[in-house]
Structure 1
Amino acid sequence: MALFGTPPAAAASSTTGDTKNDIDLTAASTSRPQDSISDLMFSPGTDYLAVASWDKNVYIYNTQSGKLQYQFACEGHVLCVAWSSDGKRVVAGDTSNALTLVNFETVQVAEGVLTHPTVQQFPKKHTAAIKCVRWVMIGGQEYVASGSWDKMIMYWDASSGNVMSQVQCMERVYTMDVKNSILVVGTAERHIHMINLAKPNEIAKNITSPLKWQTRVVSCFADASGFAVGSIEGRCAIQYAEDKDQSLNFSFKCHRVPDPTSRDTSKVYSVNAISFHPIHGTFSTAGSDGTFHFWDKDAKHRLKGYPAVGGSITATGFSRDGNMFAYAISYDWSKGYAGNKPDLPTQVKIHQIIGDECKPRPGSKKR
């Protein structure tokens, strides 16, 4: 029997989730993303959600009120966004090779909306688009780490905007995530770099993805003991960082739809986003098929699967307390320019986590 196999029909209803009460953050806003949503992230300090769009803007929503709190423009199409650990700064990377930082430490609030923050654009040091950005802690100080299609990781001093150091990757950077002292980077040609932030200028370990097709996303476990990898071929891999734990590694199929014209084949969709629950350590996958699912990696069990939402899901994230799950519905460019139709949805929705939706399966084996 395959890992994460389909449950018996009698049990199917218990693993089928409901999205009918999910809230569309973009519905009530007069200013909303006008092009595909590339990334999103909850603030670690508030219920604010930062949303990056190909329309060259970053939108910051208050998920409690449902209102747009602030919006700022970047020079290029925005591919990535990240909050600092104190929730007071947001940094975004774009296709013009630029990083834009917005500091909310000293702001005014007019009619419930943030105004007049400090906006800073770092000097352009990358020579290609910035695909990924994260805040990392090195030597007790927080820096911005950016990953680019120029095959470089750069560490920036957020105060001065200067590059402090950099790492040469083996290929173009497609995806990146950090947890505690581990920075995981997924590149073209299926390389995966692991960087120990105690030695940030070195690649501590390089592996080839256990998945046979292009890496789409990497996401670190909540306990920093490893990471998950998603590929364009509807598969997810669970990978532990330490050599002693390699026997725990496994992969499974997901985001595949049976082909009604053939009993033996399925339509295969990209895994676009993976997010780990900050409390329970369970995780979500979301894909081009427009569905998202919650999983328990320790029990190798699917907790919940949700019906298609009407478009590809391009980005996801859990709130700091794990009570909200945000997902972006927009075109994911899997069919190129010609596939971007004007009637495709561009939305950000909030799913409230209720009951045991994300709780580990009883009896799950822990490391």
Structure 2
Amino acid sequence: MSATQFELSQAPSDAISSVKFAPNTPTRLLVASWDKNVYLYDTHAEEGGTLLQKYEHRAPVLDVCFGRDDNEAFSCGLDWDVRRIDLQTGAQSVLSTHTSGVRNVVYSSTTSLLISGSWDSTLHIHLLSSPAHSPATIQLPSKPFSISLTATKLVVAMASRALHIYDLKGLQMLISQSGTTQPPHILQVEPWQRRESSMKFMTRAVSCMPNDAGYASSSIEGRIAVEWFDPSAESQSRKYAFKCHRQAIDGVDVVYPVNALAFHPIHGTFASGGGDGVVALWDGVAKRRIRQYQRFPASVASLSFSCNGKYLAVGVSPGFEDVEEDTADGVVKVFIRELADTEAKGKTGK
């Protein structure tokens, strides 16, 4: 199969904050937007894809994820709420409310935990397999900017270059034992690991490896760090950071934020998207760039691989580096790249 790329029709009307493919259906895609809506697409139902439904919110939506199946979703945003959306009926319910904007929401299928991270410097942890349990709150040392999870770990990247790694099974057990206290109770839990970012500047995104071995994180200053969970000296000696998403303009090295990271579910390579409108594919183990795509029309805000690894969704919209206050018409776009069979495969040899 050769690689092709197309633009989704009926894109959001304001900046894109998140794109997420479904865990089981490779053509089912959720898009969250600052236009106060979550969009559900079938990317391949017809040419340009089909907008199946739109779910209106009270404020800009900052993140969205699928839940226990491909008809359940969870969203969060500037209304401070964590919401469940029934994608079939459109019904919405509020699961918990933070005291500030909620930046991220992720769902763990292995533990039935739904986790939200808010600028009020807390995580809300919901045990969906037991609705009687009220959500627990974990107090963080600073604002979370990005969260990601594997089958066993939760990685929280925060301000002050702080990073916490939690054991999901441990969190599940603590909540199971904590009863049904109302309102949301503070969970006294120590992270499995505390780390400091390998990068000097603010973390923009974090994404976990599908093999549960580690994660990549990116900064506002055109860098990506690759690290492993294993605390042994041998494993920690493998971690590294590298420069990317930079270009020379009139002899000056212009540096762009790396806004988005996503790991390929089969090959374990990863994609990065930057404020320069560029998407690149990387082999984190071989420390090599696999390829770089032609520049997109605006900043890359979010990336997601489909569950079978055949498609890459690219959310494009003006970012902080574009300076403009208002979003220009036609600049907000979602592209679907159909990957060739070996396009995201890692480099062989040394």
Regarding TM over 0.5, the answer is: yes
Q: What residue number does 1:129 align with? A: 101
Gaps of 5+ in 1: 1-17, 108-115
Q: CA offset at residue 341 of structure 1? A: 4.3
**1:35–1:55 contact (8 Å) kept in structure 2:** yes
Is contact 2:7-2:336 (8 Å) kept?
yes
Instruction: Please name the residue that 1:102 is paired with.
Output: 85
Match of 2:285 among 298, 309, 319: 298
Q: Which residue of 2 aligns with 1:79?
A: 62
Q: C-alpha distance in 2, partners of 1:160/1:335?
A: 43
Unaligned 5+ segments in structure 2 are 172-188
Q: Is the partner of 1:41 in helix, strand or coil?
A: strand
Matches within 5 A, 1:203-222: 203-222=191-210
CA-CA distance at 1:71 after TM superposition: 1.0
Larger CA deviation: 174-183 vs 338-347: 338-347
How many aligned positions are there? 325
Q: Is the 8 A contact 1:49 1:63 kept in 2?
A: yes
Deviations 1:295-319 (A, max 9, x none): 1111111111012111001000000
Normalised by the length of structure 2, the TM-score is 0.88
> Partners in 2 of 1:161 and 1:325 — Cα distance?
38
Q: Which residue of 1 aligns with 2:271?
A: 284
More moved, 140-149 vs 223-232: 140-149
Rounded to whole Å, the distance in 1 between the matches of 2:282 and 2:111 is: 34
* Distance in 2, Cα, partners of 1:153 & 1:318: 26
- Taking the aligned partners of 1:324 and 1:280, their CA distance within structure 2 comes to 13
- Aligned-residue Cα RMSD (Å) equals 1.9
Question: What is the CA distance between 1:340 and its match in structure 2?
Answer: 3.5
* Other-structure match for 2:34: 54
Q: What are the within-5 Å matches in structure 2 for residues 102-181 of structure 1?
A: 102-104=85-87, 107=88, 116-124=89-97, 126-137=98-109, 141-158=111-128, 160=131, 163-181=134-152
> In the alignment, what sits opposite 2:311?
324
Helix, strand or coil for the counterpart of 2:40? strand
Q: Percentage identity across aligned positions?
A: 31
Deviation of 1:342 (Å): 2.3
Question: Displacement of 1:243 after TM fit?
Answer: 1.4
Alignment of 1:63 with 2:43, yes or no, is yes
**What displacement does 1:355 show?**
3.0
Q: Hey, what's the Cα distance between the residues in 2 that align with 1:161 and 1:102?
A: 19
Mapping for residues 182-261 of structure 1, pairs under 5 Å: 182-200=153-171, 201-244=189-232, 245-259=235-249, 261=250
Q: For 1:156 and 1:202, how far apart are their aligned partners in 2?
A: 18
Instruction: Assess if the C-alpha contact under 8 Å between 1:123 and 1:161 holds in 2.
Output: no
Give per-residue Cα distances to partners, 1:36-60, cap 9 Å, x unaligned. Answer: 0001110011121000000110001
Per-residue CA deviation, residues 64-120 of structure 1 (Å, 9 max, x unaligned), is 21101111011211000011243231000010101221124xx4xxxxxxxx24322
The question of whether the paired residues in 1 share the 8 Å contact of 2:122 and 2:139 is answered with yes
- Tell me, in whole angstroms, the C-alpha distance in 1 between the residues paired with 2:134 and 2:331: 38
Which amino acid in structure 2 is aligned with residue 199 of structure 1?
Answer: G
SS at match of 2:320: coil
Q: TM-score normalized by structure 1?
A: 0.84
